[in-house]
Amino acid sequence: MSKLYLQNIIDDISFENLPAKWLGFDFARFSKDKTLFDFQKRGLKNALKGLWFYFKDKREDKQNLYNHYQANDFTENFDYDLKKREGKKTAKYLLEYDKDYPSADSKIPFSHFINRMSFWMATGSGKTLIIVKLIELLGKLIA
């Protein structure tokens, strides 16, 4: 069985079927002097599909997103074990935000971390451009 990644989920989402507000962006230009490569534009479109999936389809509900993964054969246990990491900086920070990362039986369920996205791109491929452009697109979506 192949592993379920966000990429597999968004591959099934047609970009053209997203609401009009999610489509009306200039994906080609970063600035007046800089244009994006095709792989960078694909990265942006995939990011928007992932954001739409979480914020609109799953209604910004981490547990709902986690349930979707589980319904599609996601079986790994990535719960954050606080006992194993006792005294570590990350555990201390997470415990400070107990409303966002509630623990049960000295573990923080993975469902509280599942709303994450990453870009797997080579060094020097323009990830920073993608992130900056994505911030611009998010600003327009939020407005």
Q: Is residue 94 part of a domain?
A: no
Q: Is residue 82 part of a domain?
A: no
pLDDT, tens digit, 9 for 90 and up, residues 2-29: 676 888 899 999 999 999 999 999 999 9
Please give the tally of structural domains in the chain: 1
Kindly state whether residue 98 falls inside one of the protein's structural domains. Answer: no
pLDDT of 35 strictly over 90: yes
**Inside any domain, residue 85:** no
How far separated are the first and last CA of the chain, in Å rounded? Answer: 41
Residue 48 · residue 22 · CB < 8 Å: yes
Whether 22 is in a domain gets the answer yes
Residue 90 lies in a domain: no
- Interval 36-70: pLDDT, tens: 999 999 999 999 999 999 999 999 999 999 999 99
Q: Does the structure show a pLDDT above 80 at 1?
A: no
118 within domain boundaries: no
Instruction: Render pLDDT for 74-94 as a digit per residue (tens, 0 to 9).
Output: 889 999 999 999 999 999 999
Q: What pLDDT does residue 98 have? A: 94
Q: What is the pLDDT of residue 4?
A: 67
Residue length of the chain: 143
Would residue 60 count as lying in a domain?
yes
Range of the domain at 38: 6-75+127-142
